[in-house]
Amino acid sequence: MNRVDGKVAIISGGARGIGGMSAQKLAEAGAKVVITDLREDEAQVTLAAIKKAGGEAKFFKHDVAQEEQWQAAVKFTVQSYGGVDILLNNAGIAGAAKPLEELSLDSWRRLMSINLDGVFLGMKHVIPSMKSRAHMWPGGGSIISISSIMGFIGGARSAAYCASKGGVRLMTKAAAIELAPAKIRVNSVHPGFINTPLLRAGEQAMNQRQEGGFQKFVDDVVSRHPLGRLGEEKDIAHAVRFLASDDSAFMTGTEVVVDGGYLAQ
């Protein structure tokens, strides 16, 4: 059974990584998907994979930090597929790993504009369409935001990232309470360390900066996950698909932690 059959999803940062895999899993399960991203070439690869598998998807070039582009992305989706039933707020950046005293205000604000403002704007602008269609589904509308285990715990040289992901976690709870009467569910997903392009982005610099380089970093991270491996994109995409589906109809305002046991220690 296709668990999101007939629903319409917007996935920010959907060109690759967790967003790209989530787009594929939702499309496989019957959703019509609009991928938004600034990486058009990579988005086309994901679109081709979805269409080859018999799914339906479109691309919209989109900077999540710009409100007018969110308005345009929602308008494009409504015109393409009739409305919005699922929003996956996935777009995000890690930012530079720097001590607090060396972190510039511009860097702080850029990270917040994507990781936190982008989630707020996505929620704000999909709500009217979701409200108009929530009655169509047993589980109503579903907003899912990708946070992180770093939304629970702190990390040195990661103040901005932790603050943004903690903000996503609590904004999710506030929105869930507010939107419950409208039959819109709001949940956050908290990945551990996942083998994505975002994780691998600093590989070259790390190889130059420290003994053992990137592989030592990966080995250390793996050792902190009781299941003994990095997560894969599909591990998070499966959780997203569940929260998007009516199987999770009684879940709202909660955190779904997919971290290989990291936070259990």
Give tens-digit pLDDT for 151-201: 999 999 899 999 999 999 999 999 999 999 999 999 999 999 998 876 666
| Percent of the chain at pLDDT exceeding 70 | 93
User: Where does residue 61 rank: exposed (0-12), middle (13-18), buried (19+ CB within 10 A)?
Assistant: middle
Question: What's the pLDDT band for 126 if we cut at 50, 70, 90?
Answer: very high
Partners of 142 in the beta sheet?
86, 185
98 domain residue, yes or no? yes
What's the rounded Cα separation, in Å, for the pair 27 and 35?
Answer: 11
Looking at residue 16, its pLDDT comes to: 95
Tell me, what CATH number does 34's domain have? 3.40.50.720
Q: So what's the pLDDT on residue 202? A: 63
Domain contains 29: yes
128 C-beta neighbours (distance < 10 Å), count = 12
Active site residue 161: yes
Lowest average pLDDT, out of 65-79, 86-100, 248-262, goes to 86-100
Catalytic residue among 161, 193, 214, 242: 161
d(CA 119, CA 153): 20
pLDDT in tens, 9-62: 999 999 999 999 999 999 999 999 999 999 999 999 999 999 999 999 999 999
Number of domains in the chain: 1
Look up tokens 């392009």; give the residue: 197
Q: Per the domain annotation, does 2 fall within a domain?
A: no
Tell whether 202 is covered by a domain: no
Which are the contacts of 57, defined by CB distance < 8 A and separation ≥ 6?
Answer: 23, 27, 32, 33, 34, 35, 46, 47, 50, 51
